[in-house]
Chain A
Amino acid sequence: MSNPSVATPITETLKTARTSALLKRWAPPLILPLLGIIGFLLCWQLVANNIQTSLGQFPGPAQVSEQFSGLVGAHLKEREKARVFYERQDTRNAALLAKNPAAEVKVRPYTGKPTFVQQIFTSLYTVMAGFAIASLIAIPLGIVCGLSKTIYTAINPLIQVFKPVSPLAWLPLVTMLVSALYVSDDPLFAKSFLTSAITVALCCLWPTVINTTVGVASIEQDLNNVSKVLSLSPLSHVRRIVLPAAVPMIFTGLRMSLGTGWMVLIAAEMLAQNPGLGKFIWDEFQNGSSNSLGRIMVAVIVIGLIGFALDRLMLLLQRQFSWDKNAVLR
């Protein structure tokens, strides 16, 4: 391309072609959502500036980011206090040992309150525990219901009646059961953890049950015929034919369950006093300080982001387990 009168237009065309290709590639996943978010933030700030009640001003994005850095700072300060606490304990224990080498010394966990970051982790493993309990019950139940129409017709009314029950309605009953049955001098799990996990499980097992039932019931007849031809045992039939065929529907159910479970967890924690994000929101509400609304908003956004992340995680797992790699999963 030594002739500039030819070369320049060609380079120009290439450049425009490249830019438009880039835009086409990146606009949908990145630029458009970004524009959407920025637009939302602007609207939010406008609305917040105009809502002034006697109980405080509605927190805008600026206030929320301020509170977020405040919470991270508080977490770091608390870590420092914990370090000092352990130092004090070590000195005390050393003194005890110096006096009496045979004395029993214990290293006790830090007694301070859990920080926002720790509360996030508590919420995460509580929801995982509840989700695991729910899946362990729901998937076998769904498979059985899917395989046998009789059992399904028998159980279906129960499923439909229990499905709409709110977690807050289950909570007093679950609390009573856990208090009565889980009695131990040195408990492994806190009662509040169990109550929250069980409430989450009770509320989030229904999507999985229903989706698994549908998935199992709608296996192609060809596959069932294969199993009959090979005279597979019931267990083999389930393992080799039913489960792989029903995986897409099961995972759809699991994704919905995890989403529901995460929502239910926040409500359950508020009352069961499990030290997670739900308790954080309730405590901030009780504080009623000028920072409280901002912090609650931070918690709302974090809850949303974590819910989004969990959903993407399940999607990844679904892609892993799905045998139909051509299927479009979103």
Chain B
Amino acid sequence: MRNSTTRRSLLKKTLTGLGCAAVMLLSPLSLQIALAAEAEKDELKFGFIKLTDMAPLAIAYEKGFFEDEGLYVTLEAQANWKVLLDRVIDGELDGAHMLSGQPIGATIGFGTKAEVVTAFTMDLNGNAITVSNSVWEEMKKHVPMADGKPVHPIKADALKPVIDKINAGGKSFNLGMVFPVSTHNYELRYWLAAGGIHPGYYAPHKGDISGQIDAKALLSVTPPPQMPATMEAGTIHGYSVGEPWNQAAVFKGIGVPVVADYAIRKNMSEKVFGVSKSWAEANPETHKRVVKALIRAGQWLDADNNANRKEAVEILSRPEYVGADAQVIANSMTGTFEFEKGDKRETPDFNVFFRYHATYPYYSDAVWYLTQMRRWGQIADAKPDSWYLETAKQVYLPAIYREAAAELVAEGKFAASDFPPAGDDGFRAPLTDTIDGVPYDGRKPNAYLEQFEIGLKGDTKI
């Protein structure tokens, strides 16, 4: 009968259709497993701020490392750190050159709350603190000299009498830094506190995020390009910033860098390559490839004892990257750093892009920034040691770095010894090379905070 034949043929058709669909669904899957995974997104846009330590991004682009990984990357300078962070969070930028404190600050909710992670540290060191000529004239009287030159590192003890003098004249002592969760902010505060100068507290739980509670030196945010002009106008007496703004002050004769941050605490992460967590989860293969290209760029920058730095300086001086005069950039990137005009010192580690496992995202670096956030009140409450470690693990993702490194070793571009050993727990050896001699052990953050005279510790709350 027609009914039964139609039903049977319908059943046959459905079954064949399902069978075909199953075959079609399964075959690309098997093909994917057979081939290496493709990057989920290959047209990327990364943001950066015009500072010399965006070099790994510029080098990875100019030397074709991104293209080798099949990625088509556009680099775009951003107006300021806030705009950069907002654009990464809302997806306009796939990733960006970020301050080490930005992913951490965003994750704990100081400033815009968002989940931002990083799997690559772009560089170590690279900042300095510059003061105006008039402040330096006064400071020099209190700085120990040897052979007619100041003994480095210059401690903030020499600055204290200068501040007292300015305060006696009825004025406040003002300093600039680039962002509330910037590395420059924490370095400046550390240096001031080591000299007995109180840099001020934050009290976000009370709504006070000026960072000037109880302060003897008032710190405020100033955009880097405006720092030289603001210092010349007398609005600020000094600033803490990355390059080329310290050397620019020397070239223009308006200020004197007094201390570089590698002397404040040696070899800690400065900038990181940050992405939003949702982006990292949606594009794991792309993220890994980006990290691979950046590792190669970092290694190129430090290769052969900084042999490639001259070429790097030429690339960075192009207006689409840092744009400052090549001479100014070269002053800090080719192994020297000029303090007072004419006083150039050998500083091969002024900025480090690959040596000392610079590119590995160490938990201990994240924990240090968290301790400083607690020290100055950005984290209002006391937290147990375990909280520090857990937060660090949320933000820093060494696992992705490891995958990238493993692939690079497999491709023969690197040796396994170029990277931290496999069993590394993510903590650097305790750091003793600090300006005030206080050792830092990332595994014991609360005990570390107890050692400071100035700064919140224990259960103290503003």
Q: A residues within 8 Å of B by Cβ?
A: 54-55, 74, 88, 108-109, 111-113, 175, 179, 183, 190-192, 270-271, 273, 275, 282-292, 295
Contact = CB atoms under 8 A, between A and B. Distances in A.
Given A55-B228, A113-B74, A270-B79, 10 more contacts: A74-B319, A88-B67, A111-B73, A113-B76, A179-B90, A191-B90, A282-B79, A284-B319, A284-B323, A287-B324
A175 B90 CA distance: 10
B74 A111 contact: yes
Interface size on B, as a range, is 35 or more
Given A54-B252, A111-B72, A288 B83 contact: no
Contacts of A273: 76, 78-79, 83, 87
Interface in B88-137: 90-92
B253 interface: yes
A122 to B, nearest CB: 13
Contacts of B72: 108, 111
B225 A288 contact: yes
Interface in B29-85: 42-43, 50, 61, 67, 72-79, 83
A270 B248 CA distance: 23
B320 interface: yes
10 contacts: A55-B232, A111-B73, A175-B86, A179-B90, A273-B83, A283-B323, A286-B50, A286-B77, A286-B323, A288-B323
B409 interface: no
A192 B73 contact: no
Nearest to B47: A273
Contacts of B158: none
Interface string B212-227: 0000000000001100
Given A113-B75, A270-B79, A287 B232 contact: no
Nearest to A295: B319
Contacts of B86: 175, 179
B225 A286 contact: yes
B157 interface: no
Q: Please report whether the interface of chain B is mostly helix, strand, loop or mixed according to DSSP.
A: mixed
A6 to B, nearest CB: 70
B325 interface: yes
Nearest to A113: B320
Nearest to A191: B92
Contacts of A55: 228-229, 232, 252, 254
Contacts of B301: none
A292 B244 CA distance: 15
A108 B43 contact: yes
Contacts of A88: 67
Contacts of A108: 42-43, 72
Contact of A287 (B73, B90, B322): B322
B75 A54 contact: no
A68 to B, nearest CB: 14
Contacts of B83: 271, 273
Contacts of A289: 317, 319, 323-325, 328
Nearest to B77: A283
Contacts of A191: 90, 92
Interface in B331-388: none
B404 to A, nearest CB: 21
A192 B74 CA distance: 15
Contacts of B253: 54
A34 to B, nearest CB: 33
A134 to B, nearest CB: 24
Given A54-B253, A88-B67, A108-B43, A292 B323 contact: yes
Interface core residue of A109, A113, A271 (most chain B CB under 10 Å): A113
Contacts of B254: 54-55
Nearest to A104: B38
Nearest to A185: B91
A287 B73 CA distance: 22
B79 A271 contact: yes
A288 B229 CA distance: 11
B225 A285 contact: yes
A287 B244 CA distance: 9
Nearest to B249: A54
Interface in B249-280: 252-254
Contacts of B91: 183
B81 to A, nearest CB: 12
B50 A54 contact: no
B239 to A, nearest CB: 14
B90 A54 contact: no
Contacts of A179: 86, 90
A286 B223 CA distance: 9
Contacts of B229: 55
Contacts of B324: 287-289
A192 B92 contact: yes
Nearest to B66: A111
A304 B79 CA distance: 23
B164 to A, nearest CB: 28
A55 B253 CA distance: 9
Top 8 nearest A-B pairs by Cβ distance? A287-B323, A113-B320, A179-B90, A111-B74, A286-B225, A108-B72, A286-B50, A54-B252
Contacts of B76: 113, 273, 275
B112 to A, nearest CB: 11
Nearest to B324: A289
A295 B319 CA distance: 11
A321 B160 CA distance: 73
A113 B75 CA distance: 7
A271 to B, nearest CB: 6
A152 B229 CA distance: 49
Contacts of B232: 54-55
Interface core residue of B72, B79, B91 (most chain A CB under 10 Å): B79
Interface core residue of B245, B252, B319, B324 (most chain A CB under 10 Å): B319
A104 to B, nearest CB: 10
Nearest to B51: A286
Contacts of B328: 289
A287 B50 contact: yes
